[in-house]
Amino acid sequence: MQKSASSLVLGQGGLDIAQSFFKPIHGASPPPPTRRTTKISVIGVGNVGMAIAQTILTQDLADELALVDVDQGKLRGEMLDLQHAAAFLPRITISASVDYSSTVGSDILIVTAGARQIPGESRLNLLQRNLALFSTIIPPLSAASPEAILLIVSNPVDVLTYVAWKLSGFPPNRVIGSGTNLDSSRFRFLIADHLNINAQDVQAYIMGEHGDSSVALWSSISVGGVPIISFLERQKIAYEKQTLEKIHKEVVQGAYEVIGLKGYTSWAIGYSVANLARTILRDQHKVHPVSVLAKGLYGIDDGEVFLSLPTQLGRNGVLGVTNLQLTEEESRQLKNSATTILEVQRQLGI
C-alpha cells in the first residue's frame, strides 16, 4: 500500500532511471551508509488522526509519516490524498498499512484510535471496550519501536495513557497523554479575548483531568509577565469569582460545543499534538500541560495516576514537572481530580 511500482521506475523493462537522470559531480564522495531520519506514526485515521497528520506535514516535523488503521480503503484514500499534495509540501515519505509492523523505528507513536460511544452506553462500558482495543494496539506498537515516545490522544486520555503505560512496559517518561494542552490553549484564548490581546502573551494552565474535574490555575496566570490576580488586587480592581468560573466552564464545554456544531473536533487538537511533537523531536525543553505519571507530585500519593501537570518535554519525553505554588483551593481541586481518575481505574480493575 505504500507505493505503486510506477512511482519507483519509469524506464523500459522496469529500469530505475534516477541514476541516468541525475549525474554525480566530479570527485563527489559516496553517500553515508545510514542517514538519521525522523519518523512519526499516527494510529487511527479518523478526523483527529488526519488533522494531526496534516499539521505534521505542513510543519515539516518528520521525514517519514506512517498511517495505521483497520479500515484499509479509507487508509489508502487518506494516504493518496496526502501524497497528491507532494508538490506543495516538504519532502516526506508517507506510508499506510493495517499492519503495526509498518511503524517500526518510529520516534513518536501517536495513538488516536478509540471505540465510539454507542447511544445510551455507559462511560464505564465504553472504557472497557477501549481497554480491550488498547490491548491489541499498544503491545505491537511498543515492540516495533521500543525506543519511541508514546503520545496518547484517545479519550478518556488520562485513563488510557495509564493503560498504555502498563501495556507498553515503557518507562513513564516515554508515555505521555495530550492531556490539557488543548484545554490550556482554549483557556489562553478566552483570557486573551477578554483582554483584547494576543493569546501568545498569556501564560495560563489548566491542570488535572482532561474533563469536568480539571483545575484552572488562576493564581499563576500572567499577561506580558504581569500576574493578573495579584495585579487586580493591588490596583483594587474588583472582579467576580463567578466570571472566572464562567471562563473555566467555557474551557470545559469548548469541545462539546464544537462537536455539537460540526460533529467532531479536529483542527485544534491537530495543532496541539503537532506542537507537542515539535517540542519532543527538536528537544526544545518547553513546558506543556500534558498527562504524566503524577504519583508523588503535588501531594498526589494515593496511587498511580496520569493527569496533566506543567511538564518540561524534550527528546527523552518527560524531563521534569514544574513546581508551581498552588493555592490551598487549587491543591484541593487537583487532588480531587486525581481521585476522580483513580476511581475510574479501580472500576476497570486496572
Q: Report, as residue numbers or ranges, the catalytic residues.
A: 210
Is 45 annotated as contributing to ligand binding? yes
Is 296 annotated as contributing to ligand binding? no
Strands 175-177 and 215-216: unpaired
Is 49 annotated as contributing to ligand binding? yes
Strands 149-152 and 175-177: parallel
Are 348 and 160 in contact by the 8 Å Cβ rule? The answer is: no
Record the cell numbers describing residue 34, joined without a space.
Answer: 545510514
Is 154 annotated as contributing to ligand binding? yes
Minimal CA–CA distance to 1: which of 50, 106, 72, 89?
A: 72
Is 153 annotated as contributing to ligand binding? yes
Question: For residue 161, what are the contacts with CB-CB under 8 A and spacing of at least 6?
Answer: 152, 175, 176, 177, 179, 291, 306
Is 104 annotated as contributing to ligand binding? no
Is 46 annotated as contributing to ligand binding? yes
DSSP state, residue 66: E
Are 280 and 108 in contact by the 8 Å Cβ rule? The answer is: yes
- State phi, psi for 170 to the nearest 5 degrees: -75, 155
**Burial of residue 284 (number of CB atoms within 10 Å: 0-12, 13-18, 19+):** middle
Are 188 and 202 in contact by the 8 Å Cβ rule? The answer is: yes
Is 120 annotated as contributing to ligand binding? no
Residues 344, 345, 348: CA angle, nearest 5 degrees: 90
Cα–Cα distance measured from residue 277 to residue 90, given in angstroms and rounded to the nearest whole number: 17
Are 305 and 319 in contact by the 8 Å Cβ rule? The answer is: no
Is 130 annotated as contributing to ligand binding? yes
Record the cell numbers describing residue 259, joined without a space.
Answer: 462537536
Cα–Cα distance measured from residue 206 to residue 273, given in angstroms and rounded to the nearest whole number: 16
3-state DSSP of 180-231? CHHHHHHHHHHHHHHHCCCHHHEECCEEECCCCCCEECHHHCEECCEEHHHH
DSSP for 259-310?
HHHHSS--HHHHHHHHHHHHHHHTT--EEEEEEEE-TTBTTB-SS--EEEEE
Which residue numbers belong to the known binding site?
Answer: 44-49, 69, 130, 153-155
Which residue numbers belong to the known binding site for NAD(+)?
Answer: 44-49, 69, 130, 153-155
